[in-house]
Structure 1
Amino acid sequence: MKQKALILDEQAIGRALTRIAHQIIEKNKGIEHCVLIGIRTRGIYLAKRLAKKIAEIEGSPIPVGELDITLYRDDLSIKTNTQEPLVKGSNIEFEISDKKVILVDDVLYTGRTVRAGLDALMDIGRPSSIQLAVLVDRGHRELPIRADYVGKNIPTSSNERIVVELLEVDQIDQVCIYDK
């Protein structure tokens, strides 16, 4: 793959997350009954960053959980080449029933990851609502799924790939577009 462009640097990612945090607070009229749940892997770190920003703004913490959707994917046999999938497990130490769940992921593309996340959440409990926050929406939906909060819309071609790198995993904060 060849890097085509740097879309978001560290400061731009921070600004996008600050904007999303404010939008979450505004839409929900505060954070009462709200929880953040990040989809493995990078969605977890984005959810934790959002929680920190929301706590700074609101003066109180918001619960954060981790969701592993591995076994809910509809492309499991394609991605794993019939090998056993690596399941890391979800870590949600609070009740999600009757809560406003904000599901957090790095890139919204076909919508299949989010669909798997919705299925996984419904097996855990019955939230009063589920909202979706993504750092990047690149289009090309295969399912009728739309994000409630978007850091940046990046229209792409099917020959391009969006790569989100976060300090916690990749030792750098950036979003780049690559040619396949």
Structure 2
Amino acid sequence: MQKQKIILTEKAMERTLDRLASEIAERRGDNEKLAIIGIQRRGADLAERLKKSLDETLGRRIPLGKLDINLYRDDWTTLTRQPSINCTEIPFDIEDASVILVDDVLFSGRTVRAALEAVLDFGRPRRVELLVLVDRGHRELPISADYVGKKIDTYGDEHVNVFVRERDEKDCVVLVS
């Protein structure tokens, strides 16, 4: 039987996203070419929330994009089922921009590697920084996040499930062991 432990409640998730938006504003708020790109699916939902908070804090509209990394995955040949392809929408020029790449969970680093490759197909940003709601460790690639909502220690066979109201009708983060 699987055990579930709530890592972030709805309120804790809201506070965490507010803190992360404040960190971005503090580090990059003066940069006029600041942009946010969320990794489909839940990273894109979180990116939309961060954008709203940053728009309000900075008093201007921050460009927002959504990125599907499925065509850039390095495990196509080992998948037992076809991945679900989502849309990529980057309706702004990323050339020389400071891009905040947003994902829900950082685990092996392979999703981020694929995302970086996909972003570079759109141009050459000045910098790309990574924001994750949860960093659960177990990296297979030398990748780390610049902005971390919550770092938790997990075992390799555990799972971190992020639920967002846009898709799941609730906000919380759950550790399943």
Partner of 1:163: 161
Partner of 1:125: 123
Report the more deviating stretch, 149-158 or 25-34.
25-34
Query: Counterparts of 1:32-47 in structure 2 under 5 Å?
Result: 32-47=32-47
In structure 1, what is the Cα distance between the partners aligned to 2:74 and 2:111?
A: 9
In structure 2, what is the Cα distance between the partners aligned to 1:39 and 1:107?
A: 10
Partner of 1:53: 53
In structure 1, what is the Cα distance between the partners aligned to 2:46 and 2:167?
A: 11
Q: Which runs of 5+ in 1 are unaligned?
A: none
Query: Counterparts of 1:3-152 in structure 2 under 5 Å?
Result: 3-81=3-81, 83=82, 85-152=83-150
Q: Secondary structure at the match of 1:105?
A: strand
* Equivalent AA in structure 1 for residue 19 of structure 2: R
* Equivalent AA in structure 1 for residue 128 of structure 2: I
Offset from partner CA, 1:1-20 (integer Å, 9 cap, x none): 62331000111111111111
Checking the alignment, whether the CA contact within 8 Å between 1:165 and 1:175 is kept in structure 2 is yes
In structure 2, what is the Cα distance between the partners aligned to 1:59 and 1:2?
A: 46
Q: What is the Cα-based RMSD across aligned positions, in Å? A: 1.3
In structure 2, what is the Cα distance between the partners aligned to 1:66 and 1:124?
A: 12
Instruction: Name the % identity.
Output: 50
Offset from partner CA, 1:137-163 (integer Å, 9 cap, x none): 000001000000000001101121100
- Deviation >6 Å, runs of 4+: none
Deviation (angstroms), 1:75:
1.2
Deviation (angstroms), 1:109:
0.3
Deviation (angstroms), 1:29:
4.1
Deviation (angstroms), 1:80:
4.4
Offset from partner CA, 1:54-107 (integer Å, 9 cap, x none): 1121121111100010010011232344x4x43222011101111001000000
Aligned length: 177
In structure 1, what is the Cα distance between the partners aligned to 2:157 and 2:149?
A: 22
In structure 2, what is the Cα distance between the partners aligned to 1:50 and 1:80?
A: 34
The normalised TM-score by structure 2 is: 0.95
